Structure 1
Amino acid sequence: MERDWETYPGEVSDSEVDLRDSNDDELYYSSASLPRSNLSKARWNRATGMAHVVEQKGKMWITTGIIRAGINYCSLEETLYLVEIGALILMDDKDSCISLEDLYMKVAEEKDGCCWERFCAYKHLKSLGYIVGQHGVPWSVKDVTSTTEIEDVTAKMVANLQFDEMRPVFDVYLPNSKFRKSAPGDPAFVVCLSRSNPPSRLKLETLERQYGIPMKICHVDHGHASFFSFDKVDLPVLP
């Protein structure tokens, strides 16, 4: 049985998520209401395909980005989301601001492990208050002193854009005021992206057995992200 997860029973719905009680206060940022001195700053690193956060403001960083050797790195979808809501100033290696248009072009080029579907899925989940991480990528790793490991993270995200193989792209956690990157626990579910029809139930069941976590399929149409899952239903036997 196919279900549209946007009204999926048993999960946190739009009306049930109280963002004021979550870790992330990024949805209350506004580029028009906050002075630039109160905004976080990051520098885009072409080699790694990620943003290196150089100045953190607000609690949003508790659940955003991955930490390597004490430095917070953001993926392209995370970076674009924060710039869109006016919570982050992104600079290049010459300290010039990178515009939204430039970031949209990066996404359109489907480089650095991101694409429109991935960004739309991430944006939708974050807007509902969920905590979203890169699937299979640890939130925090100690004693990393080079950019090699960060480049490997980007390479993994690029590999996960092979939609036909239905690879998980996001680990998703319910809103949790006690969330810590050093001990995130198990995600509530993982998300796969689909550019065509949803996979067969057999394929989905195989993936769930492989990863041991409930899975959702995300399909994006004209910027609208829809999430689906499949359940077994026992029909009553008619007399």
Structure 2
Amino acid sequence: MVAMQIFQVPPPLAEVVGKKGSMWTTIGIVRNSKIYCSIEETLFLAERGELSLLDADDRSVPLKDIYKKVGEGKSGCCWESFEVYRHLRSLGYIVGRHGISWTVKSIKNKPPSVEGTLEIEVIIDQKFEDLNLVNELFNNIRIDEVRPVFDVYPPNSKFRKSSPGNPSFVLCMTSGHPPSKPEIEDLERQCNGIPLKFCHVEYGRVSFFSFNRVELPVLP
């Protein structure tokens, strides 16, 4: 039996007002004892029939409207990003937005991977009742350049949002061309040594690749 979950908007975050099942251990961020889902998490669960999304007037939001919202690319998530998220989640990986901590406790225990991220997170937790602050953070995520998008963890039944540890890798989206060497080096600095993988989506096909340094032998 499918458990129906009730959400409230405005997007890009949806507040979970009724939940059931163990999936919430790896989906959504926790603030002030409430769970909030990003738009890609919301659509992923809606496609699986595991939630019912309500608007501000408690009217059901049809699936096609959620597709439209993702397609607009105005919530820090474009259609290609969603396809990557859906692909990884379907394989069993635990996937979170890069730079967005799972809980307040995990914020305090992690170094910022991008300059300014930690300060932004603290502001969000101090004033989370004003969801406009959170919406602004998501909306300011640029989706038209090579950038870290998701923190990806291996399947783990003991995963804890309060102490997630380092991700297995940080996934970066490309915009139709391979990243340059300076771009890769800049991303490596941002991610503090966590392995990087890159992803490209074309016609619904999700491809992953990575780069390694190679020393060529000196020819005589």
TM-score (norm. length: structure 1): 0.76
Q: Give the deviation of 1:42 after TM superposition.
A: 1.3
How big is each residue's C-alpha offset from its partner over 1:41-78, in whole Å with a ceiling of 9 and x where there is no partner? 212x22x5311101111111000000110110001110
Alignment of 1:36-185 (within 5 A): 38-43=3-8, 45-46=9-10, 49-141=12-104, 144=126, 146-148=128-130, 150-164=131-145, 166-185=146-165
**RCO comparison, higher one (Cα < 8 Å, 6+):** 1
- For the 8 Å contact 1:69–1:144, the answer to whether it is kept is no
Structure 1 residue runs without a partner (length 5+): 1-33
CA distance in 1, matches of 2:143, 2:76: 10
Give the one of 203, 206, 211 matched to 1:225.
206
Answer yes or no: is the 8 Å Cα contact 1:137–1:153 preserved in 2.
no
Sort the Cα spacing of 1:151 and 1:181 in 2 relative to 1 into closer, same or farther, 3 A.
farther
Which segments of 5 or more consecutive residues in structure 2 lack a partner in the other structure? 106-124
Relative distance call for 1:161 and 1:225 in structure 2 (3 A) is farther
SS at match of 1:53: strand
Counterpart Cα distance in 1 of 2:141 and 2:63: 24
Aligned to 2:166: 186
Alpha-carbon RMSD across the aligned residues, in angstroms, is 2.1
For 2:132 and 2:160, locate their aligned partners in 1 and report how far apart those are by CA, in whole Å: 24
Confirm or deny: 8 A CA contact 1:167 1:192 kept in the other structure: yes
Aligned-partner SS, 1:49: coil
Equivalent pairs, count: 200
Q: Which amino acid aligns with 1:72?
A: I
CA distance in 2, matches of 1:121, 1:161: 16
Note if contact 1:120-1:223 (Cα within 8 Å) is conserved in structure 2: yes
Q: Summarize the Cα distance change of 1:157–1:215 in structure 2 as closer, same or farther, 3 Å threshold.
A: farther
Question: Structure 1 residues 84, 112: CA separation in 2 closer, same or farther (over 3 Å shift)?
Answer: same
Contact 1:160 1:168 in 2 (8 A): no
2:171–2:199 contact (8 Å) kept in structure 1:
yes
In 1, the alpha carbon distance for the partners of 2:94 and 2:52 equals: 22
Q: Does the 8 Å CA contact 2:31/2:128 hold for their aligned counterparts? A: no
Shift in CA distance, 211/171, structure 1 to aligned 2, threshold 3 Å: same
- 8 Å Cα contact 2:7/2:15 also seen in 1: yes
2:49 counterpart letter in structure 1: G
